[in-house]
A = this chain, B = another copy of it.
Amino acid sequence: MRNIAANQMLFRQGDPSKYLFEIVSGTLKLSQVAESGQQTIIGFPSSGEIVGLSGAGEYRYDAKTLTAVRLRPARLKILNRQLLQMRLAPEKLMDWINVHERLAEEHIAVLSLQSPLSKLATLLLNQLARQMKANQIKIGRNAGKNIDLPMTQQDIATYLAIAPETCSRTMKKLRADGILETIGRSGEGQLLKILNLQRLRAIANEPFL
């Protein structure tokens, strides 16, 4: 078990991948730069998710902590040995693959949406779902309908492949329409309160408006 402060590099794209990490608490930011130079943000994995599982010998994205993070590292080489000795069920490995793929799928789905409004709404709902799952285990019943966004709006914009200005304006629109409100910037990132979850869901799915 390892504890890391906020804003630290966990590993870098190209580093030899010795460890695989299971996030116990906190949020990471995964980013990548292609040969063409374009930067991509892959996702913001959180409690219960796996990062660093790589078939190649090296990580293929940067991993940086957005908040203080607690994680459980596993040596990849030992992993193989454990598999062979049946000390680790192959199903566990399959689970990890699953989690990894879900992250990518989620991203592709949100990128395939046409309007920034739907994109943002979907992202918010995804983050909400992610937190609900995490808190369900830890607290049981949360204050509910609050979304913690540890990442910056620019990160969100990059993730959604939209301009930062558009991201800001879209947020404003959601506020103006009484769908959410900004509670405050508690340390890292901002905290949102959902006022109208139903409409947020509608916006996420509707192609127009």
Which of B37, B80, B104, B204 meets A90, CB within 8 Å?
A: B80
A109 close to chain B: CB less than 8 A? yes
User: Which residues of chain B come closer than 8 Å to A99, judged between CB atoms?
Assistant: 55
Question: Are the C-beta atoms of B98 and A104 separated by less than 8 Å?
Answer: no
Q: State whether A101 and B98 are in contact (beta carbons under 8 Å apart), knowing that A40-B108, A86-B84 are contacts in the complex.
A: no
Nearest CB of chain B from residue A99's CB, rounded to whole Å: 7
What is the distance, in angstroms, from A116's C-beta to the closest C-beta of chain B? 12
Chain B nearest CB: distance from A13 CB in Å? 12
Whether A108 pairs with B108 at a CB distance below 8 angstroms is yes
Distance of A167 from chain B, by nearest CB (Å): 14
- Interface residue? A107 (CB, 8 A): yes
CB of A111 within 8 Å of the partner chain: yes
> Taking A83-B83, A83-B90, A114-B161 as contacts, is the C-beta distance between A38 and B109 under 8 angstroms?
yes
**A83 CB to nearest chain B CB (Å):** 6
Cα distance A194–B113 when bound, in Å? 31
Contact A54 B112 (CB under 8 A): no
A55 touches B96 (CB 8 A): yes
Given the known interface contacts A54-B98, A83-B83, A96-B55, the answer about A112 and B161 at a Cβ–Cβ threshold of 8 Å is yes
Q: Is A56 at the interface (CB under 8 A from chain B)?
A: yes
Contact assessment for B95 and A55 in the assembled complex, using a CB-CB cutoff below 8 Å: yes
Within residues 52 to 97 of chain A, which ones have a CB less than 8 A from any CB in chain B? 53-56, 60, 80, 83-84, 86, 90, 93-97
Q: Which 9 A-B pairs have the closest CB atoms?
A: A55-B98, A104-B104, A111-B111, A55-B94, A80-B90, A112-B161, A55-B97, A36-B205, A55-B95
Q: Can you list 17 A-B contacts (CB < 8 A)? A: A32-B105, A34-B109, A40-B108, A40-B112, A53-B97, A54-B94, A55-B95, A55-B97, A55-B101, A60-B101, A80-B90, A97-B100, A100-B101, A104-B105, A107-B108, A111-B111, A112-B161
